[in-house]
Structures are given as C-alpha cells and as structure tokens.
Copies of this chain bind each other. A is one copy, B any other.
Amino acid sequence: MGDFNLTVILDAIRRSTGGLSRVELAQIVGLSPQTISNISRRLLDQNLIVEAGKEGSGPGKPRTILRLNPDGMYAVGVHLDPAVITFVVLDLVGDVVKHSRIATPAGPPPVVIAAIADEIKSLIRESGVDAGRIAGLGVAAPGPIDLDEGAVVDPPLLSGWHRVHLRDALAEATGLETLVDKDVTSAAVAETWAGGASGTGSFIFMYMGTGIGCGIVMNDEVVRGTSGNAGEIGHIIVDPGGPACDCGLNGCVKSSAIPQVLVSAAEEQGVIDGGRQGSDGPEVQESFARLCDAADAGDERALAIIDRSAVLVSRAVAVVTNTLDVERVVFGGPFWGRLASRYLDLVPPLLASNSAANSIHGIEVVGTGVGEDVGAIGAACLVLEHTLAPRAQRLLLEG
C-alpha cells in the first residue's frame, strides 16, 4: 500500500462505527479537503471503500458517507493448536466469510504443514472470494516462537516441533504473504479488533487451550515483549500442595489446571472411562467434552474437578492482574465454552479477594464475544492490521 496518508484515512474509516463523510475525515485526520478527496478517489478505485448513501437533514448539501468495502480485501487466519487447527477467511471489516476446523494430524511437522496448506486452499475455493484480493495469511502458533525466523521452537505441548520454520513453509506452500505470531497474542489482537468494549483499555486475554496462556493489552496496545513471547504463565504455582511439574516444583498451572490434567483426574475417579488412546490434543479434547457432559448432567465429582480448576486458574489470573494492574480479564479459547458458566460464577469473587488494588478498582471478568475461532480470527486480523495500520508493525513477521 505504501502510502502513509492513505492508511491513516483507511484506519479512521475503519475505527468509525457508521462510516465518515469527507468533511469529517478532514477534521479527524487533519489533512486538507483536496488531499482527502484525492485519496478517497484512489480508495474507491481500489474498491477498498464504498460510498454508502447520503447523510444530513439540515440546510447544507447532504454528505456522502464513506465506509470500508467488506469485499475490498480479505485475510486468511490459521490457528495451530495441539488439538485442533482452525481456519478462517476474514473480510476487510473483520467478519468471518468462511471457517473450518481439522483435528491436528498426529504426524511430524511437514505432514501438519501440508494439511494446513491443503485446507487453506480448499477454504479459499469454498469461500468464493477473489484470490487476488487476499492480502495474506496470518498464523497463530503456540510459543515459544522465534519472530526473526518465523519459527515454532519446541512448544511444550506440540511434540517434535523443534525450530520449525512455519512462516516460510506456509508462504511457499500457499503463495500468500505470511505472518506468524503467538497464539495468545493473536487472541488478544482479535479481541481488540472484534471484541467491542471488552477489547479496549488494559486487559489480559486468558487463553484456555490445550495449554493456558495469556495475551496482554495495555492502554489499547498489544504487549508482545522483547521477542514476541510474552504471556507464558504455565509455571505460575497455583496449588502449593499439588502435582509435581516437569520444572521440578509442584502445583504449576501446567501440572494442575490444564485440560489434560482435569481429564486424567476424571479418569482416575471413574467420572469418565479411561479408554483414552493417548495424551495428544484430539483425545484430550474428546475426553474433556465427556467430563463437561458429566458435569452438565449433575455429576458432583465432575463439577468438583471443574470448580477446583476455576480456583486454581483464578490464582494464576490474580498473579498477572496484580503484576499488571489491568481493568479486565477476558476468557476465551477452544476449551472456554464448556467452562464458561462455572468460571463466570466462581472467578470474579476469587479474583476480587486476591486483588492488591481491590480497594481502588474492581476487575471485570468476561468471556470473549469473538467465539471459539478467536485465535484464527486474530491471526487474520494481524494481516489486516499489517496491511492497513498506519504504524510500522516491526514485530510481525513477513514471509
């Protein structure tokens, strides 16, 4: 796109709820009416905006409203979770045009990458969008990631992924410009784009996936840290007398509160049958669904397992909210939906009682409105942001 003024104007139009007239645009961005007029013409020619009716009932001439053209540009988002891979095609206003999911293949990285590339091609075909209008591919991956190399570096719950150059591999396989970011950060980005009021200000996004991590937004800015790996909270100790962790201590989030641990507890107690094939993502997700079914059916032991996890997760949340002094906690991710009702009852009072700033301000606890595809939607938003936002996105990766 290459034109700073053009992206400033596009960004102003995007942030407005009902579109803007050229006069309003000139006032907001501080450019001359002539410049606004010239750039609007270019944006109309490129189909990135549309003229959307007139407005104004006063004595003056009614003003033509400029809005983003949803079909002017698309982005593809992929979220690689150890259990499930989610795909979306997003239009320019951030609406999902098409989405799909596949269980994460059990094979080595090249097999998984090939499956991702195939699914992207099918999804684009089925979506019916003009491939020439796809700005790029965003990928949300579990950390640690190496932003410089666009690589996934030994994520604890995705075995065999040792410094896999995901960005270059997918760019080559799909022909799309590709960005990689951490899964929890992508989820936070989605919340800022599509989450409405809960995506503003200072908040953490508690990502409830195969692992538990958090995305961080302070004063409307996503916090990625020095290498894009912010949000690692798996070794916060939440259960001092709890199970041993691979770090040598006891009762970390990772050893006491992730879905795999809940499922194992349910199996040991006979709440669900122990016929699970392995500890890989899809098996855990299936068993987790059965645990939640049991809880929904009133099984006290199943409920106790879930409620206990809410207590433990709230302790990790309190550590992060006390460190960062945020105003809101947004929960989401693939395992969130089944946990939501219990967590939304239990976490707020637990968090309030552990909040160092409780006498100064409360902390809002909400579930994301973005839905289960939040990681993939965030990944696609990265592409839109990179293409449209007027500021340099130096921390993102380009393939």
Q: 1/0 per position for A89-104, CB-CB distance to B under 8 A? A: 0000000000000000
Q: Does A86 contact B (CB under 8 A)?
A: no
Question: A360's contact among B229, B240, B241, B327, by CB below 8 Å, is which?
Answer: B229
For the complex, give the distance between the alpha carbons of A357 and B318 in Å.
Answer: 22
| A211 CB to nearest chain B CB (Å) | 11
Interfacial chain B residues near A201, Cβ < 8 Å: 226
Residues in B with CB closer than 8 Å to A197 are none
* Proximity string of chain A (199-231) to chain B, C-beta cutoff 8 Å, 1 when within and 0 when not: 001100000000000101010000111111111
In the complex, whether A37 has a CB less than 8 A from a CB of chain B is: no
Q: A320 — nearest CB in chain B belongs to which residue?
A: B323
Taking a contact as CB atoms under 8 Å apart, the answer to whether A223 and B324 are in contact is yes
Asked whether, in the complex, the Cβ of A235 is within 8 Å of the Cβ of B357, the reply is no
Please tell me if A326 contacts chain B, counting CB pairs below 8 Å. Answer: yes
Query: Provided the pairs A325-B224, A356-B229 are in contact, do residues A319 and B240 lie with their beta carbons within 8 angstroms?
Result: no
9-residue interface stretch from A45-53, A243-251, A267-275: A243-251
In whole angstroms, how far apart are the Cα atoms of A356 and B240 in the complex?
21
> Is A361's beta carbon under 8 Å from chain B?
yes
The chain A residues found within 8 Å of chain B, CB to CB, are 143-146, 153-154, 201-202, 214, 216, 218, 223-238, 240-242, 247, 249-251, 315, 318-320, 322-327, 354, 356-357, 359-361
